[in-house]
Amino acid sequence: MNAEQAKIEIERLSDLLNRHNYLYYVESNPEISDYEFDMLLLKLQELEKEFPQFASENSPTKRVGGDITKKFETIVHRFPMLSLSNSYSEEEITDWENRIKKTIDEDIEFVCELKYDGVAIGIQYKNGELVRAVTRGDGEKGEDITNNVRTIRSIPLKLKGDFPADFEIRGEIFMPQKQFQKLNAEREEIGETLFANPRNTASGTLKLQDSKIVADRGLDSYLYGLYGVNHNLNGHFEAVSKAGNWGFKVPLEKNRFIERTNSIEGIMDFIHFWDKERENLPFEIDGIVIKVNSYNQQQKLGFTAKSPRWAIAFKFKANRVETKLLEVTYQVGRTGAITPVANLEPILLGGTTVKRASLHNADQIEKLDLHQGDFVFVEKGGEIIPKIVGVNDEKREQASQKIEFIENCPECQTKLIRRDGEAQHYCPNENYCPPQAKGRIEHFISRKALNIDGLGSETIELLYSKELIKNVSDLYVLNFDQLINLERMAEKSANNLLKSIENSKLIPFERVLFGLGIRYVGETVAKKLARQFKNIDEIIKASYEELIETDEIGEKIAISVQQFFLDESNLEIIKKLKDFGLKFKIEEKEKISAKLEGKIVVVSGTFETFSRDELKELIEQNGGKNGSSVSGKTDYLIAGANMGPAKLKAANALGIKILSEDEFIKLISS
């Protein structure tokens, strides 16, 4: 395929993928399977790598992320992003409507919308292509998070129809409930602290440096506010409909996410409907927004210093009930984290019966000043499980005792520890505290780790109680006779389990590393460590400085990795797993060339065509070795945008050849 043919094919594939992306994520009406979509995307990725000169900033391949943003640039908004005045009572909404009528002496139509509990965003499009996405910030200026927003599949990269040449659209980015629950399940599996609610998680996700992680989080959006549009539009509702025609995911009238009315009764009906139905939405809302529809009337009403007079937000009250605290119990997680849980007199809250509520940690118990038998206020507002937000002091019995956080593990009685700067207490008896030992085995056999089928939590419990397994290495000495004697274990099940255990020896190193259950080492971090150090022995002997030079590895993770390998029992388990034949080193891919043979190359900064990981892979496939820091042994420094000034200074001082991304591509392609 020559260059001209490649250009035509890249454009064809991009248009096709954009269409199917719109059908799937906006229309919820896919025409092809996920596999067919992935094959088209893979074909486009391969063409863009072969012909990088035709790769667009808004290519569908940008959806998968990979760009690294070290610092988010501050941008002044072209149109200030004002906040809405909030109301918590229906009387205030009525007063607002009366004030509108005093100013506007003609028929008034209102638009009612959902108030999405997410992150406000402003996105600029030029000639139908996304060019910039900026957070609300302080309303006058926000942060440029364009790379991360490009990964959100419900936000179009290219528009269709009769769109304006240059305009901005605003709305909310949020995390769907299903994605939030999935993310927390994954964090629970690796022993990390759970995220509190979808809104904060969405906000934190949009500020991550690695857009690949943002892409994996599955954020969604609704966009509805047009700015800088001279399109002969009469009002807000018409503008939302028009934006939908251009390819945006907008609130639809058929879902009752947006509705027009000319009366206060219509406004109240919309509020009452969603106050009840919000529990059934796949995302969080925290109220209703009411706007005057007509742009002419909006102009007459104008603005206060902080908000428009023609719009107001009605905030729902958090679901709160009062019930009695029966007792506080303590759970031990896989990593030894101790979580206090309030056991309550059952009560109905938000359509479900609540018996337990999160207390998070010792500081929370102290802050609430909890006593035995207290009557507590419980809320459910975007949390995984309800939480206690206060105590009814008037109902407290004088003789009730203050609840003190436990000092010893409730499972193995080991004295608990609390590390500096951390809120949670931990049981340090990692290998012999039953919940931790069983939890580590469950994590090890999970789908994203060693993927051993036929071992559920009940079977692990049974094997552990019969002392057939105490740690993950014991799985590899199980035999048929031991398994067939277990309850509910038939001959076929036993053979399948043994086969699955044997097959796990083929699992690649990065997943084995993840399966070890090192605290804070999730799936992504395990891959980064594996790619950087190549084998387990290099990770074990890595210094603190070498660890934190690895992408995504900060102080907390580096210390945790070192502490894990200082434990002799962990090293003994790894030795046994090695002897059983598990993979503890990266399997090197076949080399493309020897153009970098014997050369040490350092990659720093962010790049246009390739991600840093892709560049490092290319270095190795061409015979080179990746360096983590610039030294006298370094042969090349590939310098991208926003690279560290220290590395650049060191390279210049040592006379090391500095290459741009294009120069590097030419070097290995020559």
pTM of the model: 0.61
Count CB atoms within 10 A of the CB of residue 339: 17
Tell me how many degrees the CA angle 354-118-192 measures, rounded to the nearest 5: 60
More confidently predicted of 67 and 133: 133
Residue range 7-38, pLDDT digits in tens: 999 999 999 998 888 888 787 788 887 778 87
**pLDDT number for residue 629:** 78
Residue range 293-329, pLDDT digits in tens: 999 999 999 988 778 999 999 998 877 889 999 999 9
**pLDDT number for residue 58:** 86
Among 115, 527, 534, 599, which one carries the catalytic annotation? 115
Asked if residue 67 has pLDDT above 70, the reply is no
**pLDDT number for residue 587:** 78
Per-residue pLDDT averaged across 204-231, rounded? 88
Confidence band (pLDDT; 50, 70, 90) for 383? low
**pLDDT number for residue 360:** 85
115 is catalytic: yes
Confidence band (pLDDT; 50, 70, 90) for 505? very high
Query: How many Cα atoms occupy the beta-carbon half-sphere of 648 within 13 Å?
Result: 11
**pLDDT number for residue 191:** 63
Residues 363, 340: Cα–Cα separation, whole Å: 11
Burial 236-252 (b: 16+ CB within 10 A, else e): bbbbbebbbebbbbbbe
Residue range 35-52, pLDDT digits in tens: 788 788 888 888 888 888
Confidence band (pLDDT; 50, 70, 90) for 114? very high
**pLDDT number for residue 372:** 94
Confidence band (pLDDT; 50, 70, 90) for 607? confident
Residues 622, 614: Cα–Cα separation, whole Å: 12
Percent of the chain residues topping a pLDDT of 90: 55
Confidence band (pLDDT; 50, 70, 90) for 542? very high
Reported as type and span, the H/E element at residue 54 is none
Count CB atoms within 10 A of the CB of residue 479: 10
What is the number of residues in the chain? 670
**pLDDT number for residue 159:** 94
Mean pLDDT, all residues of the chain: 89
Return the bridge partners of 328, or none. Answer: 342
Confidence band (pLDDT; 50, 70, 90) for 209? confident
The domains located in the chain, with CATH, are 3-64 (1.10.287.610), 74-315 (3.30.470.30), 319-395 (2.40.50.140), 434-506 (1.10.150.20), 509-579 (1.10.150.20), 600-669 (3.40.50.10190)
Residue range 132-160, pLDDT digits in tens: 999 998 888 899 999 999 999 999 999 99
Asked if residue 188 has pLDDT above 80, the reply is no
Whole-number Cα distances in Å, 162 to 168, 177, 201, 243, 270: 15, 34, 35, 10, 32
More confidently predicted of 631 and 341: 341
Q: Which tokens hold the place of 103?
A: 């100013």
Asked if residue 110 has pLDDT above 60, the reply is yes
**pLDDT number for residue 396:** 92
**pLDDT number for residue 189:** 66
Least confident of 345-349, 519-523, 533-537, 625-629: 625-629
For 98-166, the DSSP string reads: HHHHHH--S---EEEEEEESSEEEEEEEETTEEEEEEE-TTSSEEEB-HHHHTT-TTS-SB--SS--SE
SS3 content of the chain, % helix, strand, coil (to 5): 40, 20, 40
Per-residue pLDDT averaged across 391-409, rounded? 93
Query: How many Cα atoms occupy the beta-carbon half-sphere of 337 within 13 Å?
Result: 20
Confidence band (pLDDT; 50, 70, 90) for 455? confident
